[in-house]
């Protein structure tokens, strides 16, 4: 993250709520540093609660 910060784009895709990121990253100083770099100059795209895997999985089971 340090090498990419402010020089290249990085995309994150997760189903984990952003409030859980710090704990998942270990909850220490390194987690703080990573999240600082992710959170600044960020464009957030919230896709909502729609779950494509669940929808298409059920379609496959029905057929």
* pLDDT tens for the 63 residues of the chain, in order: 778 777 888 888 887 887 888 898 888 898 888 888 887 778 887 777 777 777 777 676 776
CA distance 37 to 27: 15
- Is the pTM of the predicted complex or chain greater than 0.75? no
Q: Report CA torsion sign: 20, 24, 29, 35.
A: negative
Q: Given this model, what pLDDT does residue 31 score?
A: 87
CA distance 19 to 47: 16
Contact 37, 5 (CB under 8 A): yes
């Amino acid at each position: 993250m340090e090498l990419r910060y402010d020089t290249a784009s990085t995309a994150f895709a997760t189903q984990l709520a952003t409030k859980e990121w710090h704990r998942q990253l270990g909850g220490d100083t390194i987690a703080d540093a990573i999240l600082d770099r992710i959170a600044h100059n960020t464009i957030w795209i919230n896709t909502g609660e729609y779950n494509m895997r669940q929808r298409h999985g059920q379609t496959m089971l029905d057929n």
